Amino acid sequence: MSHLGSDNETPPPWTWIRASILVPWLPLELHHCWDSTDCRDVVTTPIGLQLCRMSLAVFAPTDYSQNVTNEQVVAPEITPCPRAIPGEKITINNITYLLIHNATRSQLNSVVTVRLIPCLYTLVFLVGLPSNGLALWVLATRAEKLTSTVFLMNLAAADLLLILVLPFKIFYYFLGNNWPFGEGLCRVTTAFFYGNMYCSVLLLTCISVDRYLAVVHPFFSRSFRTPAFAACTCTAIWLCAAVLTLPLILQQQSYPLYRANNTLCHDVLPRHEDDGYYFYYFICLIACAFLAPLVVMLFSYCSVLRALLDNGKRYAYSMKLTALVLFTLVAFYTPSNVLLLVHYSSYHSKLHGNLYISYMVSLAISTFNSCADPFVYYYVSEDFRDKVRRRFFNHSKKTTTSLKTSKETLPQKSSKDLLV
């Protein structure tokens, strides 16, 4: 540790003797003491731990010893952490850095992180932007204003907002996990990313309930299944998504990495930093914005499938589309949320940071749902496709068509209108 300050004198022998006497003789445990390098030495408790702390205080430069506390130096073996990689907070010259293992640094610079993930986001952006933009335009300007239309418009808007923040994440990963846009935009991008993703889940839940009421209880639900009621429901969902992601706005999300030129955004967060806060936050987020909606969607679509089965082969195409919707929801959203829950709730240190790449890949895959939504919910409709053809290929026909999914009840004209 001579590089910390060569001008400091070696402490006299009585200093080390006093440290040995003052420290009580407790059962020996293995602890880890961080020095200014990226490695850590295994020392014993309590004598070795105290000597390590004293050596840091003696040999370190003045500005370093004033800014680094004991809590920042000592890293416990078992600590709950968010889905991000846990890092040690260290302050040098009034600048706060995060210190991580060399092994975890390799994860941040792996081919999967800096090549595969941004390529996946780029694909989602290139496919999702025009498809959701066209769907939103048709629904807002050319479609008849029905209950299903209101929900689909808001779904297209949520998917579009999610896609619009992807360029920031694409640049971030292509730059080698380096965030050049500042702390404020890091918070906004993180909140928008998760907020619009879970807003889409909640809107998909509303669409499933709307389909359930239209198919299973058509006469009972006719009185309150109105566009005004759907608009109020969508407003409540947007507010709920904003409240769920508000903690991400209030907490610092970007930190510079120690001994690197990288500024990380929501990928490495300080160990000990509001552990209980993040634990309850992520549990609440998963329960309210994924698990509960998933149960509701499973019940709704299974009930719709059962009602269609009771009507025989007439609605075979509609049953296939319903099964496709259910499959895409489970396939795209379940892996990332399960990994998030397992990662954060686990108290086993071996899992900390080891699921980072798996979670980031599953999170990127979950954004593909924004690309799938337009094709599953909009373009399977004959009315929707006909409207697009008339708008771009036959301008003489300018009649407004309905985008009813099931003619607001069981399909009577075409089973292809069930989900749109």
Distance, CA of 379 to CA of 358 (rounded, Å): 32
Average pLDDT, the chain: 73
Question: pLDDT value at position 70?
Answer: 40
Q: Using omega within 30 degrees of 0 as the cis cutoff, is the peptide bond preceding 180 cis?
A: no
The stretch 186-208 carries a mean pLDDT of: 92
Higher pLDDT residue, 319 or 244? 244
Structure tokens at 369: 């749902």
Question: pLDDT value at position 55?
Answer: 40
Query: Which own/partner pairs from 167-170 qualify as long-range (CB within 8 Å, at least 24 positions apart)?
Result: 167/125, 169/118, 169/121, 169/193, 170/118, 170/121, 170/122, 170/125
Contact 415, 314 (CB under 8 A): yes
Residues above pLDDT 90, as percent of the chain:
26
| pLDDT higher than threshold 90 for residue 44 | no
| pLDDT higher than threshold 60 for residue 401 | no
- In angstroms, the Cα distances linking 415 to 26, 226, 307 are 75, 22, 13
Higher pLDDT residue, 216 or 59? 216
Higher pLDDT residue, 182 or 77? 182
Question: pLDDT value at position 395?
Answer: 52
Q: Give the pLDDT band of residue 85 (cuts 50, 70, 90).
A: low
Higher pLDDT residue, 231 or 23? 231
Which domains does the chain possess? 2-75 (no CATH), 106-417 (1.20.1070.10)
Question: pLDDT value at position 84?
Answer: 61
CA angle 183, 201, 208 (to 5 degrees): 165
Q: Give the pLDDT band of residue 382 (cuts 50, 70, 90).
A: low
Distance, CA of 193 to CA of 245 (rounded, Å): 9
Contact 400, 144 (CB under 8 A): yes
Higher pLDDT residue, 45 or 101? 101
Question: pLDDT value at position 139?
Answer: 86
Higher pLDDT residue, 348 or 215? 215
The stretch 83-110 carries a mean pLDDT of: 74
Contact 292, 269 (CB under 8 A): no
- Helix (H) or strand (E) holding 170, with range, is helix 166-174
The stretch 353-361 carries a mean pLDDT of: 78
Contact 320, 309 (CB under 8 A): no
| pLDDT higher than threshold 60 for residue 11 | no
Contact 92, 64 (CB under 8 A): yes
Distance, CA of 178 to CA of 145 (rounded, Å): 45
Structure tokens at 315: 């609605």
Question: pLDDT value at position 22?
Answer: 40
Distance, CA of 416 to CA of 317 (rounded, Å): 7
The stretch 272-284 carries a mean pLDDT of: 69
Question: pLDDT value at position 30?
Answer: 36
Contact 202, 240 (CB under 8 A): yes
